[in-house]
Amino acid sequence: MAEIMNTKAETMDVCCPPFDPTLWDQKIIEWENKKFIKTSVKTFFFMPLNFGSVMKKIFKKVQFAETDISGSICLSDHTSKWNMDLYISVDKDINGVENTTLSGKFFCKVYEGPFTETRKWCDDYKEEVKARNLMVRKWYMWYTTCPKCAKKYGKNYVAVFCKVE
């Protein structure tokens, strides 16, 4: 009985949906006016400081608007060592937040491991883009699960997601 209760408690603690890397890895995705809401997170040398509180506020507005987060896509744009803009996919405009769209071709490559590997992943991604004769126009990182859920799933998938030509 205790084993069942622990399993149930662990399941309830998971806030991020499982991520299937096969749907995204080494894929070119084309979007035309894909809807996102945009918000910002404070960072200290690129490490997020108030990510959880920002996401809670955004999710309340999403729930109030009676909409869903479309595909659980949350792209991070590290604009400086002190700021990270977040683009969260939605299926309709939401009042009280910054609504925006993304259009174009995006190349996605999925990596797995600790965040300390980010530089290695980015170097590998650059080589992959070069081999495909693509040019990166805009970089995003997609941290597919929070650290707590990554630990529960046993995988920490991170996707480098860039607008390309």
State the DSSP string of 97-154.
Answer: SEEEEEEEEEEEEEEES-GGGHHHHHHHHHHHHHHTT--EEEEEEEE-S-HHHHHHHT
Per-residue b or e along 74-86, where b marks 16 or more CB atoms closer than 10 Å to that residue's CB: bbbebeeeeebbb
- Rounded to 10 degrees, what is the CA torsion of 89, 39, 84, 100? 50
Query: In tens digits, what is the pLDDT along the chain, a chain of 165 residues?
Result: 333 334 444 444 667 889 999 999 999 999 999 999 999 999 998 888 888 888 888 888 888 887 767 568 999 999 999 999 999 999 899 998 999 999 999 999 999 999 889 999 999 999 999 999 999 999 999 999 888 889 999 999 999 999 999
Dihedral pair phi/psi, residue 51, rounded to 5°: -60, -50
- Rounded to 10 degrees, what is the CA torsion of 9, 52, 140, 30? 60
Residue ranges of domains in the chain, CATH in brackets? 20-164 (3.20.80.10)
What is the value of pTM for the model shown? Answer: 0.85
Q: Hey, how many other C-beta atoms are within 10 angstroms of the C-beta on 150?
A: 20
